[in-house]
Amino acid sequence: MSKIRVMIADDIAETREVIARILNLENDKFEVVGEAANGAEVLNRIPLYKPDVVLMDINMPVMNGLEATEIISDSFPNIIVIIMSVQAENEYLKKAMFSGAKEYIIKPINYDVLVETLTATYHKYKDRIQKQAVTAEVERNAKIITFYSSKGGVGKSIVSVNAAIAISRNHHKKTLLVDLDLQYGDLGLMLNLQKEKTILDIVDEHQTESYESIKPFLQKYDDNLDVLLAPTQPEASEFISKEVVEKLFKIFKSKYDYILVDTAVNFEETTLFALDLSDLILMLTTIEISSIKNTKVGLNVMKTLNYDNNKVKVIINSAADKFGISEKEAEEVFKNHLIGVLPEMTKEIRLSVNKGEPICISNPKIPFSKKIVELSAKLL
């Protein structure tokens, strides 16, 4: 019988140590896979530790146990949460269960109670949770967000990569990032992924019938983020038809929460199809006059395609007043279309691209990364 994988969440190190010591004495039943000192750490470490059960203290700094439990029940429904607290009142018990906890343990921790509660709760809920997870997987209906620009060099791919990471990591959504710049796509470089498998290999090997047949050609960046790369050679783009893309996206929609698409700077057939299929189109621009002009032209094209203002939004990238056109003036140009403004951080972003380390991961505290996280929350 496999061991129950347990993660311990408590802001007091001594409490975590005591619980770990108890569970290690029962090492034929349990494996302590990790610890956390607050709810935010729990959410960040779940993809790394992959616990079956989280022992969650209620009163913790940064994010308390009830808040973290509620997010886990939505984003990680296959994980069982057992709340721990010195509070034995019914009101706390009700709040814990309402947040999604399956059981409740009163501190100080009793050896026998801990072992028995963990074992009984896991075996009571594991089969039911696995069935629910399968059902939830079948019922996914991805929101498709496409990144487009009328002019190259505006940071469209950089923004799409970091938005995908923010959605998958900060919001714990199952996300697919698709490189539909079929001639010159470089998402693989930005994510430091080897182009061993691309969309061309799916076509060449005629594996477009099911998700199971496509999955080996997806690059797994982390637990919640998969990536489909563009071909390695520009001439290969002619083999990727609109019909192929349509078939793939139909399959992907049922397997992901969000599909983010990075497109080429043109209105070729596959790009137009992605735009038509999208729930949201994000047009990237900078505050250079040529970029603003091209974006206005692109918005007019979108209008002729009968896309309304709610479907097409504008992101101003690398905003800085030193370039002659202020952020305020650019905002006035795009008005209701504008959804976000990202600050200029050329040095830091260029370094992250050259290293293949997305800036939201390598440098999460700088203004650009924080704005990307804010933007991703708007997109959800």
The answer to whether 333 and 341 are in contact (CB under 8 A) is no
> Is the dihedral angle over the CA atoms 117, 13, 34, 27 positive or is it negative?
negative
pLDDT band for position 12 (cuts 50, 70, 90):
very high
Is the pLDDT at 325 greater than 80, yes or no?
no
The bridge status of strand 103-106 relative to strand 80-85 is parallel
What was the pLDDT predicted at 194?
78
Which spans in 26-85 are helix H? 39-49, 65-75
Share of the chain above pLDDT 90, in %: 40
pLDDT band for position 208 (cuts 50, 70, 90):
confident
Helix count and strand count (H, E) for the chain: 16, 13
What was the pLDDT predicted at 17?
95
pLDDT band for position 355 (cuts 50, 70, 90):
confident
Looking at per-residue pLDDT, the higher value among 179 and 334 belongs to 179
Give the rounded distance of the alpha carbon of 324 from its chain centre: 36
Residues 294-309 as b/e (b if ≥16 CB within 10 A, e otherwise) read bbbebbeebeeeebee
DSSP assignment letter at 369:
H
> Is the dihedral angle over the CA atoms 188, 192, 194, 197 positive or is it negative?
negative
d(CA 169, CA 376): 11
Mean pLDDT (the chain) is: 87
The answer to whether 328 and 297 are in contact (CB under 8 A) is no
What was the pLDDT predicted at 93?
73
What was the pLDDT predicted at 133?
53
Is the pLDDT at 259 greater than 80, yes or no?
yes
Enter the tokens of residue 9: 């969440």
Among 358, 353, 291, CA closest to 319: 291
Looking at per-residue pLDDT, the higher value among 129 and 49 belongs to 49
What was the pLDDT predicted at 1?
60
Residue pointed to by tokens 């990032």: 177
What was the pLDDT predicted at 322?
59
What was the pLDDT predicted at 37?
95
Among 322, 254, 253, 316, CA closest to 287: 316
Looking at per-residue pLDDT, the higher value among 137 and 73 belongs to 73
Is the pLDDT at 264 greater than 80, yes or no?
yes
Is the pLDDT at 327 greater than 80, yes or no?
no
The answer to whether 255 and 140 are in contact (CB under 8 A) is yes
The answer to whether 318 and 292 are in contact (CB under 8 A) is no
Cross-strand partners of 251:
none
d(CA 105, CA 114): 7
What was the pLDDT predicted at 153?
84
Among 200, 58, 206, 155, CA closest to 350: 155
What was the pLDDT predicted at 163?
94
Residue count (the chain): 380
pLDDT band for position 328 (cuts 50, 70, 90):
confident
Least confidently predicted of 174-183, 189-198, 259-268:
189-198
What was the pLDDT predicted at 341?
86
pLDDT in tens, 243-258: 889 889 999 998 999 9
Is the pLDDT at 134 greater than 60, yes or no?
no
Share of the chain above pLDDT 70, in %: 93
Cross-strand partners of 177:
227, 260
What was the pLDDT predicted at 89?
64
d(CA 49, CA 45): 6
Enter the tokens of residue 62: 């940064």
